[in-house]
Structure 1
């Protein structure tokens, strides 16, 4: 299960890179508010990486935050896009939420074993 999460995490990151740096007209639109799209996309990314690399939550969080910053910076290279601090903060928050949930779920089996051993 962790291998699948890792693969899906890298695919999600590649997808985010693509949709972030293409001209705005090629960007997929879900109909949801763009801040919710950003938050959700990075929450999924953070979750997948945290679950896939469950023994490295701090590194995963750093990766997700660096990815958010890098993608905002890359938008400055495309004339129809713009990188904004507010967008970065939404992406970083989404990534943090995803990492927290993914790390928590990945830790559940160990917590269950610990509780069963005490009983």
Structure 2
């Protein structure tokens, strides 16, 4: 189960990179408030990585925060996008929530069997 979470985490990160750096017209729209989209996307990312790498919660949190900062910075390279501190903070908060939930779930006895990393 942890291996699947790792794979899904890396796929989620690749997807977030794609939707963050493409022109705004190519970005998928869910209809939810954009802050909720950001929070949710990074919560899922943090959860998947924390569950996939249960012995490395601090490194996972750093990775998610760096990803949030990097993606906001990359948006400055695309004319139709903008990187904002407020957006970064929402993404980092979502990532932190996801890491906390993923780490907590991974620590439960039912999920501790077969932990490799």
Deviation of 1:19 after TM superposition, in Å, equals: 0.1
Coordinate RMSD, CA, aligned: 3.9
Q: Is 105-114 or 94-103 further displaced after alignment? A: 105-114
Paired residues, number: 117
Q: After superposition, give the CA deviation of every residue in 1:27-53 in whole Å (9 maximum; x if it has no partner).
A: 000000000000000000000000000
Q: Which has the larger radius of gyration?
A: 1
- Structure-1-length-normalised TM-score: 0.92
For 2:14 and 2:47, the matched residues in 1 are separated by 15
User: Runs of at least 4 residues of structure 1 off by over 3 A?
Assistant: 110-117
For 2:115 and 2:6, the matched residues in 1 are separated by 28
- Structure-2-length-normalised TM-score: 0.94
User: Which structure is higher in helix share?
Assistant: 1
Q: Secondary structure at the match of 1:115?
A: coil
Q: Is 106-115 or 19-28 further displaced after alignment? A: 106-115
Gaps of 5+ in 2: none
Gaps of 5+ in 1: none
- Residues 106 and 112, structure 2, Cα contact 8 Å, conserved in 1: no
